[in-house]
Amino acid sequence: KNEVEQSPQNLTAQEGEFITINCSYSVGISALHWLQQHPGGGIVSLFMLSSGKKKHGRLIATINIQEKHSSLHITASHPRDSAVYICAVDTGTYKYIFGTGTRLKVLA
Amino acid sequence: KAGVTQTPRYLIKTRGQQVTLSCSPISGHRSVSWYQQTPGQGLQFLFEYFSETQRNKGNFPGRFSGRQFSNSRSEMNVSTLELGDSALYLCASSFSGVGTDTQYFGPGTRLTVL
């Protein structure tokens, strides 16, 4: 079993839909990161979470440390949100463990 | 402010050769980390450097090595290339290191081993 699990692996949504991507982990962490990777490979760091909830525009990320679970929500999804979303945890030792990623496609 | 740059962007090598990839971090950033991305294994952490010191490394064979210079620029080297080393190699930089602040990723170097 992977130490960081993401679901779903693939997701297709219609423009405007509310989207949720989940990440569960089995190791102790210092923080959890959500990354976005567009076709072509460029990766952008979206959020770094150690507790609670963060919001940036239409993106919301939450983490429940006790349940070892995080969610990334996209409100009013748009085709430009189409990308791979990757959850990464750091264990406090300057090292990431990555989830397998969720490939999101938003249709116009 | 210029972003993270990686050179070269594309590289084709044959089995048994060695390769050196370069990463220039954002000005002022002292941490550089390296990652390998393949369709089968996804993203995997290779190593992290801070002020010329390697602070952690991932589960890769000794053929994979790296270093960081006093100007924070970093190189990674893969010796005796194998077909399975074909991948996108990404580096990222930050002020204080992996897990402590936002990582800024470079565009990657796509390595093909024939």
**Per-residue pLDDT at A93 exceeds 90:** no
Determine which of B5, B10, B98 to mutate to test the interface with A (most A C-beta atoms within 10 Å): B98
Q: Which chain A positions have a beta carbon within 8 Å of B48's beta carbon?
A: 94-95
Task: Determine the pLDDT at residue B101.
Answer: 82
To the nearest whole angstrom, how far is the Cα of A45 from the nearest Cα of chain B?
A: 6
Range with lowest mean pLDDT among A1-10, A20-29, B37-46, B91-100: B91-100
Identity of the residue in A41, A91, A94 whose CB atom sits nearest the CB atom of B48:
A94
For residues A26 and A47, what is the distance between their CA atoms, to the nearest angstrom?
A: 20
Cα A82 to chain center, whole Å? Answer: 13
Determine which of A54, A95, A100 to mutate to test the interface with B (most B C-beta atoms within 10 Å): A95
Residues 6+ apart with CB under 8 A from B66: B34, B46, B47, B49, B54, B74, B75, B76, B77
**Per-residue pLDDT at A12 exceeds 80:** yes
B2 or A26, which is more confident: A26
Q: What is the mean pLDDT of chain A?
A: 94
B41: its two tokens: 């294994």
To the nearest whole angstrom, how far is the Cα of A3 from the nearest Cα of chain B?
A: 13
Q: Which chain A positions have a beta carbon within 8 Å of B105's beta carbon?
A: 42-45
Instruction: List, for residues B49-107, the tens digit of each pLDDT value.
Output: 999 999 999 999 999 999 999 999 999 999 999 999 999 999 999 998 777 788 999 99
**Per-residue pLDDT at A23 exceeds 80:** yes
For residues A33 and A5, what is the distance between their CA atoms, to the nearest angstrom?
A: 13
**Per-residue pLDDT at A1 exceeds 80:** no
Residues 6+ apart with CB under 8 A from A10: A102, A103, A105
Identity of the residue in A43, A95, A101 whose CB atom sits nearest the CB atom of B56:
A95
CA angle B97–A22–A29, rounded 5-degree value: 35
Instruction: List, for residues A41-53, the tens digit of each pLDDT value.
Output: 789 999 999 999 9
